[in-house]
Structure 1
């Protein structure tokens, strides 16, 4: 009898270990419809468009140590995959979504229009504004049926370049001028989202801006040491405060049927990992893994930087001066896809995908919900979370 009990106990332990070693992830084939993923924005979402636009056919992001974690420098600003890659994986999209500018790409399950250096109000010659990205989508729209576009996912992350450039050019701008600039940026963003709805898009995921003042490149440029540059953080917060109400207005608009959305609090997710990095198993959160300077913020991917590469990139929140490591990108993707209202509201990506197409939303973005629904740090439901 004792031997039987011991045998059962051993089986139980093995089962538990197997569960932890093989976490259960719900993919598109398991209750989630096969829809397309369209991404818009800047280098955070760029899967290779910048390489195709650049006069330099071998820019830094195509060289080692970019892609180091997968031994594959592929034009993405990370040591491996970026957020859209993981979201595509969760949606069972084979090989992720291709760059829109790649000739003969398989666009069946979606496309990435995001381009490095993109902004909302204006971009360099070798990039595209969000408006130009929307125009490119319009030119490709015939690849998908109207019904398929309506039930597919449109993800947007953009605005970093607008605010970094603004503060660089106007370091002494007063509060009134800053507010006016934020209004101009978010007004154009609203116009661009409206343009997408006119082209049939209905399901949107908008990722709020990160705490821009905490980027290693900003700490290095403004010589803040271990502190964040609060002026840029404040601009990011002003921008973020306008996104939820804007999307609520779209969802309640009588002339846009079935507008649905999710707002991801990227600001808070990064700030938590910056301030309480050890809870998330990041040992360095104020400097990057690859680069030169006080915070290793510049020249990753260039020949003189190899000696400055960190020993273990998964210990770092940032891989280069402004982009997260693959480990951080994977955590963010999991939060986007399946987190609760502490970090994404009024629903996460998985809920948004399965929400009946064309149906009016029953819940909306609520101000201060992110902070109001949080538990105390000791009870935090995702402190210590590591994908």
Structure 2
């Protein structure tokens, strides 16, 4: 889940010119998703990240993703996905003709499906420690490395695999929730991206040779950040913060590719793809793109919440496929399909 930071950032206006200057000073040519990568047909897929990639690693008793109405569109019941149905992981796997890799926590029951890879992503996590006691990216990579050592799947086989790394901003929501030190935000963003760069290099050293890295989506356009204006307008200051992260990420990816003398790492331009859908310039149109399908009936409640009597404390739109966003932070299945369509065409 992404951060809810619009009010916090807007209360520190001097951050705006600082972010603008930092973004301008860190401009580099981006290495966006290459058509050649998507012409590549991997045999396996490995996934690291948070709720934008998690297909069931959170336990049923600790996650709203296992509560009704999640999974409304697919598979018709909660499946541990933070959406009405399929998410980014599913669409990327499908584009390669693969089944979505099984979540790590299912590895025993689904050992025979290891041939499709494995998903280590866990909702609520980040590059650093967030507000949840779940494995962050460093820990996820540790599980991956151990899996390779313990299984008959050799690291050499990673040459025919693709790896997805995507994180949706939990590091920043956790940072602001802990100390709200706005002046330290640019330095913290730099530290997050540098740690992410270290983690990406570690994935390469284990043997991965095709790694797709997701940019941050426009966090200022998430329903959690547009609810205050009745879902009418994105928060531009928050999106400037995202811009700094993405500029630094592009530079880190470019450096990694120079170090490895290859095109191992490519960037998934989630920011522009989301914005294309939001602006109505993509293939899919949503009449009220900022309004979520599922939301709490009032403050303090959320999609999937019930009271002590089991009464639903959320409202649900009639057709989730008509909305870009499912809940306060995550796209619907239709939303992800539209966003991925934009990625594939870039």
| TM-score for the superposition, normalised by structure 2 | 0.79
Distance 1:215 1:258 in 2: 35
Distance in 2 (alpha carbons) for counterparts of 1:184 and 1:49: 27
User: Where does residue 182 of structure 2 map in the other structure?
Assistant: 173
CA distance in 2, matches of 1:128, 1:44: 15
- Work out whether residues 163 and 232 of structure 1, in 8 Å CA contact, stay in contact via their aligned partners in 2: no
C-alpha contact 1:216 1:297 (8 A) present in aligned 2: no
**Cα deviation digits, residues 289-327 of structure 1 (max 9, x gap):** 001257x99521223446610011111110011000101
SS of the aligned residue for 2:73 comes to helix
Q: 1:87 to 1:134 in 2, by over 3 A?
A: same
Q: Residues 123 and 168 from structure 1, CA distance in 2 versus in 1: closer, same or farther, beyond 3 angstroms? A: closer
What are the within-5 Å matches in structure 2 for residues 296-307 of structure 1?
Answer: 298-303=301-306, 304-305=311-312
Where does residue 384 of structure 1 map in the other structure?
none
Q: Is the 8 A contact 2:48 2:137 kept in 1?
A: yes
Larger radius of gyration: 1
5 Å-filtered alignment, 1:278-293, equals 280-292=284-296
2:240 is the alignment partner of 1:231: no
Q: How many residues align?
A: 298
The whole-number CA distance in structure 2 between the counterparts of 1:203 and 1:298 is: 41
**How far does residue 79 in structure 1 lie from its aligned partner after superposition?**
0.7
Give the counterpart of 1:156 among 153, 157, 165.
165
Q: Any conservation in 2 of the 1:164–1:232 contact (CA below 8 Å)?
A: no
Deviations 1:122-171 (A, max 9, x none): 13454111100110101101332233212311111115101222334455
Aligned 8 A contact 1:40 1:112 in 2 = yes
Question: For the structure 1 residues 122 and 159, does the alpha-carbon distance in structure 2 shift closer, same or farther, using more than 3 Å as the test?
Answer: farther
Cα distance in 2 between the residues matched to 1:209 and 1:161: 11
Distance 2:91 2:268 in 1: 16
Q: Distance in 2 between matches of 1:219 and 1:298?
A: 17
TM-score between the two structures when normalised by the length of structure 1: 0.71
Gaps of at least 5 residues in structure 2 are 1-38
The whole-number CA distance in structure 2 between the counterparts of 1:82 and 1:165 is 23
Q: Does 1:41 align with 2:49?
A: yes
Query: Which one of 155, 163, 169 corresponds to residue 146 of structure 1?
Result: 155
- Asked if residue 93 in structure 1 is aligned to residue 98 in structure 2, the reply is yes
Aligned positions of 1:239-318 closer than 5 A? 239-253=245-259, 256=260, 258-276=262-280, 280-292=284-296, 298-303=301-306, 304-305=311-312, 308-318=315-325
**1:8 alignment counterpart:** none
CA distance in 1, matches of 2:51, 2:207: 25
For residues 131 and 181 of structure 2, the distance between their equivalents in structure 1, rounded to whole angstroms, comes to 24
More divergent stretch after superposition (126-135 vs 296-305): 296-305
Q: 5 Å matches for 1:17-166?
A: 32-51=40-59, 56=61, 59-70=63-74, 71-94=76-99, 96-104=100-108, 105=110, 106-142=113-149, 143=151, 144-166=153-175
Q: Which has the higher contact order (CA 8 A, sep 6+)?
A: 2
Q: CA RMSD in A?
A: 2.5
2:217 paired residue number: 210
Question: SS at the partner of 1:308?
Answer: strand
Q: How has the CA–CA distance of structure 1 residues 130 and 309 changed in structure 2, closer, same or farther, with 3 Å as cutoff?
A: same
Residue 347 of structure 1 aligns with which residue? Answer: none
Q: Which residue of 2 aligns with 1:329?
A: 336
Q: Distance in 2 between matches of 1:163 and 1:125?
A: 13
SS at match of 1:39: strand
